[in-house]
Chain A
Amino acid sequence: MNAHTNVEAAPLLAVSSLSKRFGDVNAVRNVSFEIERGKTFGLVGESGSGKSTVARLVLRLLEPTTGAVHFDGQDIGLLNASKLRSERQHMQMIFQDPYGSLNPRMTVEEIIAEPMLVHNLGTVKDRKATAERLIGEVGLPKSSLSRYPHEFSGGQRQRIAVARALSTRPTFIVADEPVSALDVSVQAQVLNLMCDLRDQYQTTMLFISHDLRVVQFMCDVIAVMYLGQIVEQGPRQRIYEVPSHPYTRALLSSAPGTDRDKRTVLEGEIPSAHNVPKGCAFCTRCPIAENICRERAPQTTQVEDGHSVACHFA
């Protein structure tokens, strides 16, 4: 099968020129990226930068205004409702809020087994066995299966959400700020767990966070978003060692642990997506902005193989 080998070599997920408007708000503007098989792609940005909208567009929980998402070689925008639903067994999602994303009226076993149930995978017995295996793999006792989500803490619930996401053995998982709602002490445990299971199941991931340390820990490739656009994208080492966009530099320097006097402190807040500045979207807060930035939007240019940036001065 010639086509098959081609598909294997192609990236698992290819997002091209994705845009989403909500009324007169441009939440996501012309976003393109690819995720190779087995890699974890990190999307960072402030709240309001459109990260979560990208996650929902990628899984087609929202319909894009323009642009396409190719998953495993097929355009998921062209799938009809039932095909899309069945395709969902290969792509799962972990949500930010472990209190809100689990049905409070289902037992943990029902929650973990539900993806297998609705996709007709295995028998009742198989599903029970899988749920028992998964609950162990996420580090919770087997007795948890007969209990309800409210009996667990946030971190434990997120472990349950991870088990649910893995139950159909998906090739792709979107994690939307999976640890942001958790206490710092618990964050590391859940991240380690996700790391281990990702390696064990060889899952490709889209990992979304506003926390650069978390992204650095989890991701192979990182894209930085600002006001609905990707301003810089590249391999992890490049982003952390030679950040090329002034916004990326500001984000990195404001991370805890940086010397106080070396910090670049950004003025003001991220502008409203109702009212995107003319020219470069970042020009209102950029420490190195010149006249050209207020007039013309910068093109995305490659600074090195796989490392691209949208800035006039990169």
Chain B
Amino acid sequence: MQDRTNPPNPGLDGDDKEIVVVTKPVWQRLLANPTAVISVLCLMVLVLGSVFANAVAGSDPLRINPSIRFKPPSFEFPFGTDNLGRDMFKIVLHGGKTSLLVGAVVTIISMTVATVLGLLAGYYRRVDMFLMRFVDGLMSFPAIVLATAMTGYLGPSVGTVVTSLSIVLIAPSLRVVRGQVLVVRELQMIEAARAVGVPTMRIFTKYILPAVSSPILVQASFIFSAAILSEAALSFIGLGIGSEDISWGNALTESRNYVSRAPWIVMFPGLALMLAILALNLLGDALRDVLDPKLARRR
């Protein structure tokens, strides 16, 4: 995806002069942005650590070993051990698998639904009326309360967490997409496309979607972090993924009784969580700066 919208200097509008605007690809501009580079590196460490948790930390993170309870961080147990003698390093890495996977799946589902509905709502007035009232309804509760109610009703499991978070996180993204579509649909290129006889479906895919893809990408990074955080919050209050699985939120729940005795049990899952969310939010900001130069200049 490339930003090709900056108009050439109108003062140079001699008809035979060629105006070449050099626009570097997005990834090149991202590489020039230190915040983006640092956050991508952080995320890569977390993702790779989780994906290759077996290789990095070893398997069977839930194995209980009472003989090594409450060991502080050491060379053998980099993150220490918890009240049941489990290796926190394994728990954090294996827990990351669940947390990041839930975040990714929720992001994909909710952003896809929000994009499709946002396109329809932004383009068709009648759909808009209906959908926006629905969104107003969803947004009149804090998302986490709604998700709590849903998981409480459906029972804790990875499936219900993903389902309920996907639903509650549709609303804010739908707003974002719809708002962008409302701007783009008024552009003359849309009228020109209609005048040419371009079918509506092609107007969506070839004209509107590419024009709104940058804000969608930015929004996706924020939704990713919101999903991870919400999953942790749900797991923390026992309405998350269930105790047979581990995630960062789960790890925090079980360890919170031992904060004063063994702070590392809380610290490391919390740190991983914080790092993931901070990196995603910073990446979102950096993406916005890179994809929307006008906004960046104003700040």
Contacts and interface: CB of A to CB of B under 8 A. Distances in A.
B20 A95 contact: no
Given A61-B191, A88-B195, A93-B195, A118 B202 contact: yes
A224 B66 CA distance: 95
A88 B198 CA distance: 9
A137 to B, nearest CB: 16
Interface stretch (A123-131, A150-158, A251-259): A150-158
Interface in A81-103: 85-89, 92-93, 95-97, 99-103
Interface stretch (A19-27, A179-187, A215-223): A179-187
A150 B5 contact: yes
Q: Which of B4, B12, B23, B199 has the most CB of A within 10 A?
A: B4
A105 B210 contact: yes
B7 A99 contact: yes
A118 B21 CA distance: 30
B13 interface: yes
A198 interface: no
A95 B188 contact: yes
Contact of B195 (A92, A105, A153): A92
A185 B202 CA distance: 37
A65 interface: no
Contacts of B211: 105
Interface string A197-225: 00000000000000000000000000000
Contact of B196 (A115, A150, A154, A155): A115
A265 interface: no
Contacts of A186: 13-15
A164 interface: yes
Nearest to A82: B199
B197 A89 contact: yes
Contact of B13 (A86, A105, A151, A154): A154
Contacts of B21: 150-151
B194 A61 contact: yes
Given A61-B191, A102-B189, A118 B4 contact: no
A152 B192 CA distance: 18
Contact of A101 (B8, B15, B192, B202): B192
Interface string A143-185: 0000011111111100001001000000000000000001101
A235 B202 CA distance: 42
Secondary structure at the B interface, as helix, strand, loop or mixed, is loop
Contacts of A156: 15
B206 interface: yes
Interface in B1-49: 2, 4-8, 10, 12-15, 17-21, 23
Given A61-B191, A102-B192, A103-B193, A153 B15 contact: yes
A104 B21 CA distance: 13
A150 B3 CA distance: 10
A93 B196 CA distance: 7
A156 B14 CA distance: 9
Interface residues of A, number: 42
A183 B19 CA distance: 15
Contacts of B8: 150-153
B187 A118 contact: no
B195 A100 contact: no
Contact of A151 (B10, B18, B198): B18
A261 to B, nearest CB: 35
A133 to B, nearest CB: 19
B195 to A, nearest CB: 4
Contacts of A93: 192, 195-196
B199 A150 contact: no
Interface in B102-135: none
B207 interface: yes
A183 B13 contact: yes
Contact of B188 (A101, A106, A119, A190): A101
A85 B203 CA distance: 13
A47 to B, nearest CB: 16
A285 B207 CA distance: 44
B218 to A, nearest CB: 18
Contacts of B192: 93, 95, 101-102, 161
B19 A100 contact: no
Contact of A154 (B10, B18, B189, B207): B10
A74 B211 CA distance: 36
A99 B4 CA distance: 11
Contact of A114 (B4, B17, B191, B196): B196
Contact of A182 (B13, B23, B199, B206): B13
Nearest to B10: A154
Nearest to A164: B196
Interface in B197-225: 197-199, 202, 206-207, 210-211
Contacts of A103: 189, 193, 206-207
Contacts of A106: 206
Contacts of A86: 197
Interface of B: 2, 4-8, 10, 12-15, 17-21, 23, 187-189, 191-199, 202, 206-207, 210-211
Interface of A: 56, 59, 61, 85-89, 92-93, 95-97, 99-106, 114-115, 118-119, 148-156, 161, 164, 182-183, 185-186, 189-190
Given A101-B191, A101-B192, A118-B199, 4 more contacts: A88-B195, A102-B189, A104-B4, A148-B4
